[in-house]
A = this chain, B = another copy of it.
Amino acid sequence: MKPPQFKDIFEADRLLRTHARRTPLLESVLLNEKLDGRLLIKAEALQHTGSFKFRGAYTKISRIDPHIRPRGVVAYSSGNHAQGVAAAARLHGIPSVIVMPSDAPRIKIENTRAYGAEVVLYDRYSESRERLAENLAEQRNAILIRPYDDTDIIAGQGTVGLELATQARELAVSVDTLLCPCGGGGLIAGCALALQTESPSTEILAVEPEGFDDTARSLVAGKRLSNAEDAESFCDALVVPQPGELTFAINSRLVQGGLAVSDLQTAAAMAQAFHHFKLVVEPGGAVALAAVLSGKFAIQGKTVVVVCSGGNVDPTLYRQVLKKHS
């Protein structure tokens, strides 16, 4: 598969302008003062289906040859790619089958079904979701949509970067650093490609949960490293075995480094997003914000954008987070 270019993002942006939401850049005067810098939140939790994943999924499905598109699509996902693909498939009037772990957040499974997808649950400790999805795609003669190792998916997610660069220009600010949650690396790869052209002086950093800092370590090592098999985190959206192949090829060139945050720091950031931004952010969506609010990444004197990439969190977990951190 050929790696995406800037023009792919540009074209995805043109496509999505009438289908995706231009999410706002939020900021808080009080928080800026406390941090002694300017913190801008790219609120992708407000995107259709509650995460940036809709961008990539819609872009990908739009670009499938219309002659074979009616066969439908198959995807595997812990939940946000699932909802993105299910919603985009529905908008294109084609069927979708989504392979999801049986312990995915309820809200993600229910919404995926509500968008009309057939959900196939699997046990993520004993089965391979890739294998399962590949077999399903073959049986159904459907098209497999991978969550990040795909040119069109990366191009779609990259529209987040293109948009935030435009919004920064509208605010007449120059972005010193972009901090981006990182699982398989599709979102940050797309954003890095967009900013390479649109804002080349912006430093780009990946933020991951502790135990899943595969991209951070891989960037240092210069090759793809895996996470320990027994690692655990409540950031379900960022739990991956290792960086993607296509995404790491981009990220190893364009991403300057990575940071890891603890689940405790992430939970505290979710509560701060409630307080300062009135934004519901899920664990995996809050890690970049956590890197700033925990002080792991100091923004003193800087203008920094963090992507809050999703907001699909079960109310029970959200209540626990608010109880503990406010």
| Chain A residues engaging chain B, CB cutoff 8 angstroms | 21-24, 26, 29-30, 43, 45-46, 48, 50, 87, 90-91, 107, 111, 114-115, 271, 274-275, 277-281, 311-312, 315, 318-319, 322-323, 326
Contacting residue for A278 out of B90, B115, B271, B279, CB 8 A: B279
Inter-chain contacts of A111 with B (CB < 8 A):
30
Please report the C-alpha to C-alpha distance between residue A18 and residue B65 in the assembled complex, in whole angstroms. Answer: 44
Which residue of the partner chain, among B45, B107, B114, B278, contacts A45 with CB atoms under 8 Å? B278
A sample of 18 inter-chain contacts (CB < 8 A) reads: A22-B24, A24-B24, A24-B46, A26-B46, A29-B87, A29-B90, A30-B115, A43-B46, A45-B278, A46-B277, A46-B278, A107-B275, A278-B279, A278-B312, A315-B322, A315-B326, A318-B322, A319-B323
Least CB separation from A90: chain B residue: B29
Contact B23 A24 (CB under 8 A): yes
Within the complex, the shortest CB–CB distance from A172 to chain B, in Å, comes to 10
Stoichiometry, as copies per complex, reads 2
Give CA–CA (A315, B24) in the complex, Å. 24
Contacts of A22 in B (CB 8 A): 24
Q: In the complex, which of the residues B278, B312, B319 contacts A280, with contact meaning CB atoms closer than 8 Å?
A: B278
Whether A318 touches B278, Cβ cut-off 8 Å, given contacts A23-B24, A24-B46, is no
Q: Which residues of B contact A319 (CB under 8 A)?
A: 319, 322-323
Instruction: Report the bound CA distance from A306 to B22 in whole Å.
Output: 20
In the complex, chain B residues whose CB is within 8 Å of the CB of A315: 271, 274-275, 322-323, 326
Give the Cβ gap from A151 to chain B, nearest Cβ, in Å: 26
User: How many whole Å from A87's CB to the nearest CB in chain B?
Assistant: 6
Find chain B residues with CB under 8 A from A277 CB: 46
B residues in contact with A29, CB < 8 Å: 48, 87, 90-91, 115
Residue picked from A22, A30, A271, most chain B C-beta under 10 Å? A30
Complex CA distance for A318 and B323, rounded to whole angstroms: 10
Contact of A114 among B30, B90, B281, B311 (CB under 8 A): B30
Distance, CA A249 to CA B24, complexed state (A): 35
Beyond known contacts A26-B46, A29-B90, A315-B323: 17 more, CB 8 A cutoff: A21-B24, A21-B26, A23-B24, A24-B24, A24-B46, A29-B91, A30-B115, A46-B279, A50-B278, A274-B318, A278-B279, A278-B281, A279-B280, A280-B280, A315-B326, A318-B322, A319-B323
The complex places the Cα of A58 from the Cα of B222 at a distance, in Å, of 52
Q: A49: nearest residue on chain B (CB-CB)? A: B29
CA–CA, A6 to B11, complex, Å?
40
Contacts of A24 in B (CB 8 A): 21-24, 46
CA distance A311 to B275 in the complex (A): 9
Q: Say how far A89's CB is from chain B's closest CB, in angstroms.
A: 12
Tell me, in angstroms, the Cα distance from A87 to B31 when the chains sit together: 13
